[in-house]
Amino acid sequence: MSEQWVKLPIKLALALVIVLLISSAMAVSAAVEVGDKAPDFTLGSVDGKSDLKLSSYTDKPTILVFWVSWCPHCQREVPIIGKVYNDLKPKGLNALGVSVDDDMADAQAFVKDYDLKFSNAFAGTEKGEEVLNTYGIRGVPTTFILDKGGTVKAHYRGVVPEEVIREDLAKLGVK
């Protein structure tokens, strides 16, 4: 009889592990990928002066980039996106950055140091954490190319050559 009582906690522990693995897999599959409509969100701006809503940008093709100030890959990638945005804004491109910094002052310094002309939101809040989870952000930089209307047409993790970004935007008529 006591042998059954020992087996019961082991079975419960195994069941718990299985439930955790399944829920982990479901969380990963919830990430936004190519072909998905980008979930709308509203976050405060890095400058603290306004709220930024993704759907306010998707009236045109849009670059959406998640970054953090201390990341060397972001320090390479985000200025490339800034250059592409500066070149193609007159031809119908929008861009929205999302800082995943914990400290808004760090995000503000990054925007200033790299002279970013596109809008940047701050995700270092509970609401921001929800956005990161929804998008499946596990590392930065993570960049999405959205078409007019907000459907994801390209998704990059890490540093991506400028030419690749420009080619994907050209497919959307932004050249």
| Digit-coded pLDDT (tens) for 9-49 | 544 444 333 434 443 433 444 589 999 999 999 999 999 99
Q: What is the pTM of this model?
A: 0.83
**Gap between the Cα atoms of 140 and 17, Å rounded:** 29
| Angle, in degrees to the nearest 10, between helices 72-88 and 162-170 | 40
Indicate the pairing of strand 51-53 with strand 42-44. antiparallel
Integer-rounded Cα Rg, in Å, for the chain is 20
Task: Specify whether the CB–CB gap between 155 and 81 falls below 8 A.
Answer: no
pLDDT at 17: 39
